């Protein structure tokens, strides 16, 4: 599995990354139920060769970023830390979009502090705030980039039309949309990213729905390959596009090890094609 370079200078050596959303309490709120296991997951991810960790200031809020900074700093060479901004939280499972420039700037300063970074490699707008002029949101990110506080800008949950409009104003290197075997509504965005050389980070990458049910195509493939359904789902994503950067998350070391093993799983052509057509 080859790596991917974003923006011409940010190399992700291992395209199978780690999503740190689950290193929080229930509802992505508060401290993890097992803080020691959460820290062990982060350490083990690096031991297994993970070179991309994706988080957000809204995970906890602040908890995920703080755990990453406390556990992994000083960071090894080649580790890409990606985080996101644009949400505020008011409780478990309660998310509120906030793209006001002053919020984005304050959020970036907080992320830098918690992650113990001088510059964030990939700073992603978690959602476009449709109640704030888009040029104001992009202007805030561009200012932070000019000031050297962020290296590259990414987007989350955008359409091709959004991408084209935004790229006229600022340089974008990646997109993070909901995408997995069972939900491929962002197929056109993925194709556009591949055409334009942008990274594509599918969130919720392990969902497979009916495909994973006993006797379903994913279940059959897993049995034939002596793998788990999750491993096959991740291997399919990695093969689907060279710009794919899956970020499966977990709070369990055992589950992390299972996920990372998917990077070495090779899908036969007939298995890949059957799942693609499912």
Contacts of 124 (CB under 8 A, 6+ apart): 56, 82, 83, 84, 85, 153, 154, 155, 156, 174, 176
Asked whether the beta carbons of 71 and 101 are under 8 A apart, the reply is no
Q: Is 75 one of the catalytic residues?
A: no
CB-based contacts of 135-141 (< 8 A; 24+ apart in sequence): 135/169, 136/99, 136/100, 136/101, 137/86, 137/99, 137/101, 137/104, 138/166, 138/169, 138/170, 139/101, 140/101, 140/104, 140/105, 141/104, 141/170
- Torsions phi, psi of 179, nearest 5? -160, 135
Given the residues 59, 75, 123, 179, select the one marked as catalytic. 59
- Torsions phi, psi of 131, nearest 5? -100, 0
User: What is the spatial distance between Cα 15 and Cα 257, in angstroms, rounded to a whole number?
Assistant: 15
- At 57, list the tokens: 């200031």
Q: How far is CA 236 from CA 33, 244, 270, in A?
A: 32, 10, 12
Bridge-based pairing state of the strands 80-85 and 10-12: unpaired
User: What is the spatial distance between Cα 233 and Cα 272, in angstroms, rounded to a whole number?
Assistant: 10
Give, as one character, the DSSP assignment of residue 120.
E
> Which residue numbers are catalytic?
59
């Amino acid at each position: 599995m080859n790596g991917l370079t974003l923006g011409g200078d940010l190399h992700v050596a291992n395209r199978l990354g780690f999503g740190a959303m689950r290193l929080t309490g229930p509802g992505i709120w508060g401290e993890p139920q097992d803080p020691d296991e959460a820290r062990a997951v982060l350490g083990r991810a690096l031991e297994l060769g993970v070179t991309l960790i994706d988080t957000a200031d809204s995970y906890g809020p602040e908890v995920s970023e703080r755990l990453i900074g406390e556990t992994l700093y000083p960071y090894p060479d080649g580790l890409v830390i990606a985080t996101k901004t644009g949400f505020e939280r008011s409780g478990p499972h309660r998310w509120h979009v906030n793209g006001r420039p002053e919020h984005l700037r304050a959020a970036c300063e907080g992320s830098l502090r918690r992650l113990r970074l001088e510059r964030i490699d990939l700073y992603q707008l978690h959602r476009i705030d449709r109640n704030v002029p888009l040029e104001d949101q992009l202007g805030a990110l561009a200012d932070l980039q000019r000031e050297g506080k962020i290296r590259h800008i990414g987007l989350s949950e955008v359409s091709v039309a959004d991408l084209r409009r935004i790229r006229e104003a600022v340089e974008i290197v990646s997109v993070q949309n909901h995408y997995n075997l069972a939900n491929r509504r962002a197929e056109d965005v993925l194709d556009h990213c591949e055409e334009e050389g942008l990274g594509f980070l599918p969130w919720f990458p392990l969902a497979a729905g009916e495909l994973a049910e006993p006797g379903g195509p994913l279940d059959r493939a897993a049995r034939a390959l002596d793998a788990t359904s999750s491993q096959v789902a991740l291997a399919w994503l990695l093969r689907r596009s060279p710009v794919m950067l899956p970020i499966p998350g977990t709070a369990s070391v055992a589950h992390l090890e299972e996920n990372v093993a998917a990077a070495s799983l090779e899908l036969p052509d007939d298995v890949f094609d059957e799942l693609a057509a499912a």
